[in-house]
Amino acid sequence: MPKKIIVVKIGGSTLGKHDTTLVDLVELQKQGNSLVVVHGGAQVASDWLARLSIPTSFVDGLRVTDAESLKVVTAVLSGLVNKELVVAIQALGGRAVGLSGCDGNLLWTIMKNPELGYVGEIVTVDPAPLKLLLKESYMPMVAPISFGSVEGRVMLLNVNGDAAAGEIAAALTADKLIFLTDVDGVRDASGRVISRLNITEARALLRSEVATGGMVPKIEASIKALATVSTVHIIDGRMSHALPSVIAGESERSQLGGTSIVPG
C-alpha cells in the first residue's frame, strides 16, 4: 500500500526561533513518513535586497518582483536558503534533496499580474521528480522559484511559497497539507482564532477581507489543495513539536490550537 504523503510549508519567519521544525521533520522521516517540504525565506530575501539597495514591496502578501529583484530572490531562495535547509536536515541524520519549482518541470507558470512583475501563477504541476525522490526515501525540499513564458520567452518566475505548497499537495493527492507559520491560526472579525473552517467559510473570509496580508495566499492555497487533500492545517510553527502533534491527530491537538480547513 503506498505511503500517505504529507506536504509541509515552512516559513522563514519561524525557522531559527528556537523551534523544533527541522528535528521534527527528521524524526517523522525516520518513522517512515513521506514528507515534501516547501520553504519560504521572504525575510532573508528582503535582507539581501536591502543590502543591495533594491527596494521591495508587497501586494496582498505577494512580493512585487522586478528584473533585479528576481535575480536576488532566485539566488537566495533556490541557493542559500534551500541548501542551508538541506545541510541542516542531513546534519540531523535525515535524507534530503533540494530543488526548485523550475527543476524537472515541477512548476510551470504564467505571469500572475503585471502589477506584481515577474511573479508566476501556477498552471501546471509535474510531480514526477518529487515522486522519484519519495520512492527512494528522500525528503524533497522545494524552493518557490518556477518557470514560465513571458512574451514568448521562457524564464524564471518568482512564485508564492504558500501557493506552491497548495498546488504540489493537490498534484500529489497528499494526505495532509500543513502550514507552519508565525501566527496561531486564522482569525475571525473579532480577532479570535477559528479552530475549524470549511471551504465555503474560508472563501467568505477572503471576500469580506477579514483575512489579510500573508494569510490570504495561505487560505487560497488551502482551498486549491482541498480538491484532493483531506485536511489543511495552519498552525504556529514556533511551538515546540507542533508538526508531530498535528500529524498525530485531532485528539492530541488540544494545546496546539491553529486552524483546520476541510472540504464542504
Q: CATH number of the domain at 125, please.
A: 3.40.1160.10
Residue 202 identity (one-letter amino acid): A
10 versus 60: the higher-pLDDT residue is: 10
Tens-digit pLDDT profile for residues 101-120: 999 999 999 998 888 999 99
Q: Is 258 in contact with 184 (CB distance < 8 Å)?
A: yes
Q: Flag whether pLDDT at 28 surpasses 70.
A: yes
- How much of the chain, in percent, has pLDDT values that exceed 70? 94
Question: How much is the mean pLDDT over the chain?
Answer: 91
pLDDT score at 2: 59
pLDDT digits (tens, 9 = 90+) for 163-190: 999 999 999 999 999 999 988 899 999 9
pLDDT band at 141 (very low <50, low <70, confident <90, very high): very high
**Confidence class for position 252, pLDDT limits 50, 70, 90:** very low
Q: Is the pLDDT of residue 139 over 60?
A: yes
**In which band, very low, low, confident or very high, does the pLDDT at 213 lie, cut at 50, 70 and 90?**
confident
- Rounded Cα distance, 182 and 185, in Å: 9
Instruction: Give the global pTM.
Output: 0.93
Ranking 17-21, 35-39, 221-225, 228-232 by mean pLDDT, the lowest is 17-21
Mean pLDDT in residue range 146-153: 92
Residue 123 confidence class, pLDDT cut points 50, 70, 90? very high
Per-residue pLDDT band at 251 (split at 50, 70, 90): very low
Instruction: Please tell me the distance from the alpha carbon of residue 33 to that of residue 51, in angstroms, as a whole number.
Output: 39
Task: Flag whether pLDDT at 250 surpasses 70.
Answer: no
pLDDT > 60? residue 235: yes
What total number of domains does the chain contain? 1
Model confidence at 12, pLDDT cuts 50, 70, 90, reads low
pLDDT of residue 112: 84
Domain extent at residue 61: 5-262
Q: Is pLDDT larger for residue 21 or for residue 256?
A: 21
Could you give phi then psi for residue 262, rounded to 5 degrees?
-130, 160
Helix axes 67-74, 42-51, angle to 10 degrees: 120
**pLDDT at residue 135, as a whole number:** 96
pLDDT of residue 248: 85
Instruction: Tell me which residue of 158, 101, 97 sits closest to 127, measured CA to CA.
Output: 101
The three cell numbers locating residue 46: 528582503
- In the predicted model, is pLDDT for residue 94 greater than 50? yes
Q: Quick one: cell of 145?
A: 522559484
- Tell me the one-letter amino acid at 166: G
CB within 8 Å of 164: residues ≥ 6 apart: 38, 101, 107, 122, 142, 144, 146
